[in-house]
């Protein structure tokens, strides 16, 4: 029987620029390297976020997914929400109104890596078309006609 894994909640700093992103990444790196990491990032204090901040969030998500874990975002400030929406990054994360809801969501945990595994395992074998899901775009193969040509999307 599997025991419950701890969920780590970290507050993102007010300014998430290159120096702050590097510092924050150094703080969370040990958690990212754990087995099936479960992280919640609280963005309630974020007033400024640049490309380095977005890259840091994506790096954290990528590292956790490699280990069958996940990063969830909570309490997005208006500024953070705008940046994530403009970069379309919000579609890659589960976003919650508050940290408590994000932590609770891990009790029915299905890692992002598993959510995407079906689509990604077949995407390289057939032509693909993007399909919007709550967790972001997933590439699914287009069905083929009997003559081997693609159906129109």
- One DSSP character per residue, 66-93 reads HTT-EEEEES--HHHHHHHHHTTGGGGS
Q: Within this chain, do residues 114 and 75 fall inside the same structural domain, yes or no? A: no
Residue 1 lies in a domain: no
Task: Tell me the C-alpha distance between 51 and 33, whole Å.
Answer: 23
pLDDT at 7 over 80: yes
Q: Within this chain, do residues 55 and 90 fall inside the same structural domain, yes or no? A: yes
pLDDT at 107 over 90: no
> Residue 5 CA to chain centroid, in angstroms?
19
Q: Kindly tell me the burial class for residue 8, based on how many C-beta atoms sit within 10 Å of its own C-beta (0-12, 13-18, 19 or more).
A: middle
Q: Give the per-residue pLDDT at 32.
A: 94
Across 105-117, average pLDDT? 58
Q: Within this chain, do residues 78 and 138 fall inside the same structural domain, yes or no? A: no
For the chain, the domain total comes to: 2
Q: What is the pTM of this model?
A: 0.68
Given 108, 124, 144, the domain boundary residue is 108
Q: Within this chain, do residues 75 and 19 fall inside the same structural domain, yes or no? A: yes
Residue 86 lies in a domain: yes
Q: Which domain holds residue 63?
A: 8-108
Question: What pairing do the DSSP bridges indicate for beta strands 48-49 and 15-16?
Answer: parallel
- Beta bridge partner(s), residue 38: 70
pLDDT band at 145 (very low <50, low <70, confident <90, very high): low
- Alpha helix (H) residue ranges in the chain: 18-32, 51-66, 78-86, 99-105, 112-123
Q: Within this chain, do residues 85 and 148 fall inside the same structural domain, yes or no? A: no
Q: Within this chain, do residues 114 and 97 fall inside the same structural domain, yes or no? A: no
Residue 59 lies in a domain: yes
Residue 104 lies in a domain: yes
Q: Give the per-residue pLDDT at 128.
A: 36
């Amino acid at each position: 029987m599997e025991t419950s894994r701890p969920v780590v909640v970290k507050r993102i700093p007010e300014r998430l620029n290159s120096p702050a992103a590097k510092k924050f990444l150094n703080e969370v790196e040990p958690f990212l390297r754990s087995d099936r990491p479960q992280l919640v990032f609280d963005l309630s204090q974020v007033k400024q976020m640049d490309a380095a901040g977005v890259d840091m969030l994506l790096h954290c998500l990528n590292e956790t997914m490699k280990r069958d874990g996940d990063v969830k975002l909570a309490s997005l400030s208006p500024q953070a929400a705008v940046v994530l929406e403009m970069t379309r990054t919000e579609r890659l994360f589960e976003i919650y109104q508050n940290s408590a809801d994000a932590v609770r969501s891990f009790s029915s945990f299905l890692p992002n890596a598993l959510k995407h595994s079906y689509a990604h395992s077949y995407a390289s074998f057939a032509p693909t078309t993007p399909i919007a899901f709550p967790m972001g775009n997933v590439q699914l193969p287009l069905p083929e006609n009997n003559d081997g040509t693609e159906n129109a999307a």
